[in-house]
Amino acid sequence: MSRRAVGAPLSRVDGRLKVTGRATYAAEHDIKGVVYAAIVDSGVGRGRITGLDARAALGQSGVLKVISHLNAPKLAYRPNAGSNNPEGGERLHVFQDDRVRFFGQPVAVVVATTLEAAQHAAHLVEVRYAAEKPSTGLAGHRTNKPVTYARGDAEQALRSADVRMEMTYRTARNHHNAMEPHATIARWNGHRLTVWDKTQWVNGTQEELAAVFGMPKESVRVISPFVGGAFGSGLRAWPHVTIAALAARETGRPVKLVLARRQQYFGTGYRPAYEYKVRLGGDRRGRLLAMTHDIRAETSTHEDYQEGVLTTGQMLYSMPNVSQTYERVPLDVNTPLYMRGPGHSTTSYIVESAMDELAHELGLDPIELRRRNEPDDDPATGRPFSTRRLRECYTVGAREFGWDRRDPKPRSTRDGDWLIGMGMAAGVYDTQRGAAQARARLDARGSALVEAASSDMGPGTYTSMTQVAADALGLSVSAVTFRLGDSIMPPTPPHGGSMTMASVGSAVQDACDKLRRQAVELAVADERSPLHGVDAGDVVAGDGRLHVKGDSARGETYQQLLARNNRTHLETLGSFTPGESRFSMYAYNATFAEVAVDHRLGLVRIRRMLGVYDAGRIISPKLADSQAIGGMVGGIGAALLEHTVTDPRDGRIVNANLADYLVPVNADVPSLRAIYLDGDDREADPIGVKGLGEVVYTGVAPAIANAVFHATGRRVRELPITADALL
Ligand code: MOS
């Protein structure tokens, strides 16, 4: 039998390409005759453009064109429900009017034969504005129609509760800050458009461009074989994608447009800032009775961005009374977008901080408090959980982290000038799945090529899909090639929401199962095959051969089978279509952190972290570790460092660079450990996975915040937790 690929700790099949620089990211595709674009962005946060003088720019050698609202053609901007655009608004229409809706909004683009000429000329475009004062803060504005949820009577329950608490938490705006900048190369061929783009969804970008330019989507091809991190920022096509395509059409040349690092902060999305008031009530034994959530978040004036902030508060703990109000405040800002663990990570921080505060109030161990409120069925829907093993996560985590060594009294442990604290939190992310297809092809050499549109922003999709395909076909990993990142390949859902493994993986499994069965059918019907006449159900594949189950000598290789039948290849199309389920499906974590806080300086250092995950089956353990450790690093950023700061006078983001916007560096990252409960959730999908990329992030920030409280006795209700708050 061949060694199973699924579950083996493989290195990335594309690792060599990446470390040798041969993986082609969006800006690196070598397109003949390409010219360069540079965006001129607004220097005011709200108002109108009263004048735009491009003469100096056009006078520079190499400059081909300056496009603005003064000369841009009218674009179709068809509504398109299929894309990832937020509901209830109009997406930003590029160069279609003189309005400035946020600081950094593109107001013109310069196209030139060199990048240097384009960038220099962009500075020479003179724009005059009638500026108005922008609204950029969450306080005191009208809101979009709130989304609400209620069960029971939370107000009544709070009045009668033994213990009542009320807290307001705040979380900062965060930007994705992937290493690879957003970039697009666009080329027209008659009425057909080809785009090389950094995207998490080639099909979504294809639909968006078709809608913007009023074309059938079949006339648009989007190619994106490698993505250098995205964390959600590539889940929709931002205005620069349209601008690249428009510039290419207007100049008749292929155009490359790479956003400068500073422009990433203005021109793409971000995790919105939140203001979150929570009230909770319980009895003396720590049974929760009620929780209320009053949530305010940023959105833009032109789109009503919403994310899943409500479910965690509805289903993480058993309680009869819940009331929620989720308001979005329309501000003069760019539209937010999903960022790793969207919704759940914010709510996990708030709910899990509140639980820690309640545990302290009641003098109960935080894990014990959680155990006392662990539901048997989903309290929001009454449905059974497909799998929910949070109790085991607590048990394993407490044992492996040494939770029993924790003195429950805050500020009780010291190491010289450092106050030492241990904290924990639970986290959750819903198991999302979407309709996906994949094509599998077996050639006469006995090698397989498997394709699906998808993306791989870093989780290792190339590798994990190769593993699934290799096992289904009985081939070694080296005999399988997986390709992705092209809209002409079978369609897939967004490479986000932690749904790629479940969705695309199940489609790959289906395609390869069908392909294997097709080969088996061919063999058992072939008089010259050693498998002739064998029941198809008794034939298995392994080591590149088909053979009788339990008798590996009786069989033949794929090569022999195809050659004898004069077949150049066999090919199948597989699919996965998630149905309605009677189950409630989530992935879970229990995350533990130990911190040290310098009592003189307020400096917080993480000493060690442990995440324990109930995420279903783990296809690729080495890549899973990469996800989990990356998720913890991201969570350290959210807890202690990351904060997009806006100047309220003009809406300018003041730290729009990686020197001033802090992300964790190696010195911030200590010993991190991940443990996966051995699981398999067949209710979720045929390959038993529940999604991993986001559940490893939710739970991290509250574990750290709770550890900081335990170390210092100071409860900081704002992320990031910075030194000034601890002095
Ligand atoms: Mo993820 S925020 O869905 O890329």
Q: What phi and psi values does residue 605 have, to the nearest 5 degrees?
A: -120, 135
- What was the pLDDT predicted at 85? 76
Structure tokens at 589: 């974590």
| 570-628 pLDDT, tens digit each | 999 999 999 999 999 999 999 999 999 999 999 999 999 999 999 999 999 999 999 99
CA of 496 to the centre of ligand 1 (A): 4
Answer yes or no: is the C-beta of 134 below 6 A from any ligand 1 atom. no
CA 200 / ligand 1 centre spacing (Å): 9
Mutate to test the pocket of ligand 1, among 174, 305, 338 (most ligand atoms within 8 A of CB): 338
Mean pLDDT in residue range 284-303: 97
User: Distances in Å between the alpha carbon of 417 and those of 300, 408, 411, 414?
Assistant: 45, 20, 12, 7
User: Distances in Å between the alpha carbon of 524 and those of 473, 521, 529?
Assistant: 17, 5, 7
640: number of CA atoms within 13 Å, CB side? 29
Please give the number of the atom of ligand 1 that sits closest to the Cα of 342: 2
C-alpha 234 to ligand 1 mean position (Å) = 8
| Helix, strand or coil, per DSSP, at residue 439 | strand
- 272-310 burial, b at 16+ Cβ within 10 Å, e below that, comes to bbbbbebbbbbeeebbbbbbbbbbbbbbbbbbbbbbbbb
Tell me, using a 6 A CB cutoff, whether residue 429 lines ligand 1.
Answer: no
Residues 65, 67, 73, 75, CA torsion sign: positive
Spacing, Cα 424 to ligand 1 middle (Å): 24
Ligand 1 neighbourhood includes 340 CB (under 6 angstroms): yes
Q: Is the CB of 338 under 6 A from ligand 1?
A: yes
Mean pLDDT, rounded, for 426-453: 98
pLDDT at 472: 98
The answer to whether the bond into 720 is cis (omega within 30° of 0) is yes
- Residue 282 CB less than 6 A away from ligand 1: no
Find all residues with CB under 8 Å of 577, minimum gap 6, and list them. Answer: 435
The pairs formed by 361-367 with CB atoms below 8 angstroms and a separation of 24 or more are: 361/163, 361/165, 362/163, 362/282, 362/284, 362/286, 363/408, 364/286, 365/408, 366/423, 366/424, 366/706, 367/394, 367/398, 367/403, 367/424
Ligand 1 atom nearest to CA at 457 = 4
Atom of ligand 1 nearest to the CA of 232: 4
With H, G, I as helix, E, B as strand and everything else as coil, classify residue 511: helix
Q: Which amino acid is at 437?
A: Q
Radius of gyration (C-alpha) of the chain in whole angstroms: 27
Average confidence (pLDDT) over 363-392: 98
Closest by alpha carbon to 502, among 429, 577, 611? 577
**In the structure, what pLDDT confidence band is assigned to residue 79 with cuts at 50, 70 and 90?**
confident
pLDDT higher than threshold 70 for residue 73: yes
Neighbours of 140 (CB within 10 A): 7
Q: Are 290 and 157 a contacting pair, CB within 8 Å?
A: yes
Mutate to test the pocket of ligand 1, among 694, 696, 697, 698 (most ligand atoms within 8 A of CB): 694
Query: 144: how many CB neighbours lie within 10 A of its CB?
Result: 17
Whether the Cβ atoms of residue 689 and residue 616 lie closer than 8 Å to each other: yes
Q: DSSP for 618-665?
A: -S-HHHHHHHHHHHHHHHHHHHHT----B-TTT--BTT-STTTS----
180-232 pLDDT, tens digit per residue, is 999 999 999 999 999 999 999 999 999 999 999 999 999 999 999 999 999 99
Q: Which two tokens stand for residue 168?
A: 């307001």
Q: Where are the beta strands (DSSP E) in 301-362?
A: 321-331
Task: Confirm or reject: Cβ of 696 under 6 Å from ligand 1.
Answer: no
Q: Which helix H or strand E contains 300, and what residues bound it? A: strand 288-300
> Does ligand 1 have an atom closer than 6 angstroms to the CB of 485?
no
Q: How far is CA 670 from the centre of its chain?
A: 24
Q: What share of the chain is helix, strand, coil (3-state, %, to 5)?
A: 30, 30, 45
Q: How far is the CA of 338 from the centre of ligand 1 (A)?
A: 6
Q: Taking a C-beta distance cutoff of 8 angstroms, is the pair 255, 37 a contact?
A: yes
Asked if 465 contacts 503 with a C-beta cutoff of 8 angstroms, the reply is no
- pLDDT, averaged across the chain: 97
Stretch (H or E) spanning 712: helix 700-712
> One-letter amino acid identity for 704?
I
Distance separating alpha carbons of residues 211 and 16, to the nearest angstrom: 38
- Which amino acid, 310? L
Cβ–Cβ under 8 Å, residues 301 and 101: yes
Question: Over the range 327-361, which residues count as b (16 or more CB within 10 Å of their CB) and which as e?
Answer: bbbbbbbbbbbbbbbbbbbbbbbbbbbbbbbbbbe
Q: Per-residue pLDDT for 88 more than 90?
A: no
Q: How many CB atoms lie within 10 A of CB 45?
A: 28
Across 329-338, average pLDDT: 97
Residue 288 CA neighbour count, 13 Å, CB half = 34
pLDDT at 1 exceeding the cut of 60: no
d(CA 468, CA 485): 18
Helix H or strand E segment including 481: strand 480-483
339 C-beta closer than 6 A to ligand 1: yes
Q: How buried is 48 (Cβ within 10 angstroms: 0-12 exposed, 13-18 middle, 19+ buried)? A: middle
Strand partners, 15: none
| 74 vs 76: CA distance, rounded Å | 7
* 421 touches 594 (CB < 8 A): yes
What is the CA(634)–ligand 1 centre distance, in A? Answer: 13
Give the residue from 26, 200, 232, 37 showing the smallest Cα distance to 119. Answer: 37
256-265 mean pLDDT: 97
DSSP codes of every residue in 98-128: SEE-STT-EEEEEEESSHHHHHHHHHH-EEE
Indicate the pTM of the whole model. 0.97
Distance 212 CA to ligand 1 centre (A): 24
Tell me the H-state helices in 373-530: 390-401, 461-473, 500-524
Query: Does 691 contact ligand 1 (Cβ within 6 A)?
Result: no
- Quick one: what percent of the chain has pLDDT higher than 90? 97
235 touches ligand 1 (CB under 6 Å): yes
Q: Which residues contact 334 (CB under 8 A, 6 or more apart)?
A: 92, 102, 104, 105, 266, 267, 268, 269, 270, 300
Q: Is 232 in the pocket of ligand 1 (CB under 6 A)?
A: yes
Phi/psi of residue 299, each to 5°? -145, 175
Residue of 483, 338, 478 whose CA lies nearest to 2: 478
Band (pLDDT 50/70/90 cuts) for residue 437 is: very high
Percent of the chain with pLDDT over 70: 99
Q: What are phi and psi of 381, to 5 degrees?
A: -120, -15
What is the number of the ligand 1 atom nearest to the C-alpha of 495?
4
Atom of ligand 1 nearest to the CA of 234: 4
Q: How far is CA 720 from CA 321, 631, 724, in A?
A: 30, 16, 11
Amino acid letter, 436: A
Which residues make beta-bridge pairs with 184? 197, 257
Catalytic residues: 694
Sign, CA torsion 133/134/138/143: positive
Q: How far apart are CA 266 and CA 253, in angstroms?
A: 27
Query: What are 461-472's pLDDT values in tens digits?
Result: 999 999 999 999
| Site of tokens 């959210």 | 638
Position in ligand 1 atom list of the atom nearest CA 337: 2
Q: How far apart are CA 544 and CA 500, in angstroms?
A: 27
Rounded to the nearest angstrom, the distance between the alpha carbon of 258 and the centre of ligand 1 is: 22
pLDDT of 3 > 70? The answer is: no
Are 243 and 141 within 8 A, CB to CB?
A: no
Q: What confidence score (pLDDT) does residue 89 get? A: 74
pLDDT digits (tens, 9 = 90+) for 132-191: 999 999 987 789 999 999 999 999 999 999 999 999 999 999 999 999 999 999 999 999
Q: Answer yes or no: is pLDDT of 2 > 60.
A: no
Q: What is the pLDDT of residues 299-315, one digit of tens each?
A: 999 999 999 999 999 99
